[in-house]
Chains A and B, each alone.
Chain A
């Protein structure tokens, strides 16, 4: 027996959101839109500073979270045995993953902005976002390492390689496609998060680009939020909002496609070897 409702529903749901925003936003997007400053109280011009800001935040947070996440996953998966320490770390990681993003915002504000005195800055925002995606990096890396066949490790060890050499030359290269997939997914997460940057970095409007990591920036998701809810002339900036939403969706779409392409390309390459 077939269950057509599920199928029907699925078509409606996913395609209507994507379709609707694409339909409304595609006319807004132009070279000016992505390369110019906002003008006339966000009703004209472009979203260039918000795009730059989002890229700064992506760069900063990944620079922080990726190395720590990968090293952490290596330690958990390659160095610890099944036991209390391992399950404790894993429990903490999944707890961290479950903490709501607004709580990260509160935490980032009180630690990075106030306690450490970074102020509203790219540094504070990136660290907050980095902690937010850390569990995702750890989990995907852990899965990737777990998927590596133990025979490879044992063969390498049997040939006289040390544990570190095995990780470096055997385990990591095989796990790389899946690790990269996780990296790309966490970039997607960072680019869309709003709540953690509300009080750590995001600015309503800045006429210039950031010049150091202690500057505030505009960011795409926050920009969409303010121009669709709290602008002075919401109706006039609606077109800008559609365009911004579409840019955000396109970023996620492109990242997802890249992730699956990377996975396919690299796993094919590994199979040939």
Chain B
């Protein structure tokens, strides 16, 4: 009996220890399930289809071309390999301008016939309308719109997930925005964090350290919304003032906030690394006549460089995944960043800002899960990298 209870409890312990692994697997499963199904979706909204005149030679139109056509950037069919006609737009919103309400009937029962004759009589037309209005003997031609593909998703330069009539799902601006903000953040945080950790590991007295440690722990514990709020109130107006910008919500503001947030991580990890330098090495250097600064620069830092780089990578990882603070201060414009004084939008901020409005199970919803997959992969690479560094350090 006692043995049975012992075994039961041990089994309980075993099950508990697999929860983290299970969670990671479940996260992967759910992200992929929603994310991958994005790639069988048509970028056209809802049940819409795209039709042209039967003489038109165009066979497929990509989502990007549709957007350019409806933005009036492409106005002639010959630009995309079609017939020699100007493009005339027709969407479901134009029903009223083309037809009288009386003609259509009370339940739109005459609409299919009307659409058919309109397409047949207008050589340059591009018509987007719902599947259910396809006429029985359709004289126009249905044009194929390629599904969202992995390559168009990864290399697309436009992110307009609610655009009409075709959504634009290109993650390039978001990925670049995320990396951009994080890299600048680490460039700001690393020198400061390293200086602080050197001070704490090598210079500060024990009393000073005991004073600093809790402050840094506290800094690590402050919620990210509070940092975001602080950035919104202090850093954003400051940047607007200093650089004379119309708005202060820029990549730089995000980077500064992220830098402050990444500091505790960087300080703690690199201080640990610096502290691991064998005392004998330091004393040998001092005995050879090197002063304290020379010892730090030539002995302590080279010895702990792998730990310091782990700190930097860990800091980047934190910065890439950070959501709320970035959402509040970067301005969230989905454009590919060229300077640090532009608004940018990061992957986590996009998910946080848009998931609430994306209809459950729709293409926008799936696209946000696909973004989640990208984020997951990015942070997984970083985690494994850090793990690799710290394991090879242990083995040394």
Contacts and interface: CB of A to CB of B under 8 A. Distances in A.
A264 to B, nearest CB: 12
B contact face: mostly helix, strand, loop, or mixed: helix
A9 B192 contact: yes
B10 interface: yes
A155 to B, nearest CB: 20
Interface residue tally on A, bucketed by range: 35 or more
A72 B12 CA distance: 9
A230 to B, nearest CB: 10
A209 interface: no
B20 to A, nearest CB: 5
B209 to A, nearest CB: 12
A102 to B, nearest CB: 4
A256 interface: yes
Given A89-B21, A94-B387, A256-B218, A106 B199 contact: no
Residue of A76, A92, A96, A98 most packed against chain B (CB within 10 A): A98
Interface stretch (A12-20, A34-42, A172-180): A12-20
A3 B219 contact: no
Nearest to B219: A14
A177 to B, nearest CB: 16
Nearest to A193: B223
B229 to A, nearest CB: 5
B6 to A, nearest CB: 5
Contacts of A255: 221
A229 B324 CA distance: 11
A79 interface: yes
Contact of A89 (B20, B216, B348, B379): B20
Which 4 pairs between the two chains have the least Cβ-Cβ distance?
A: A192-B223, A100-B321, A75-B13, A6-B199
Interface of A: 1-3, 5-7, 9-10, 13-14, 17-18, 20-21, 67-69, 71-72, 74-76, 79-80, 88-89, 91-96, 98-107, 109-111, 114-115, 131, 134-135, 138, 162-164, 185, 188-189, 191-195, 198-199, 221-222, 224-225, 228-229, 241, 245, 248-249, 252-253, 255-256, 260
Interface of B: 6, 9-10, 12-14, 16-21, 23-24, 26-27, 30-31, 33-34, 192, 195-196, 198-199, 203-204, 212, 214-219, 221-230, 232, 234, 260, 263, 291-293, 317, 320-324, 327-328, 348, 351-352, 355-356, 360, 368-369, 372, 375-376, 379-380, 382-384, 386-387
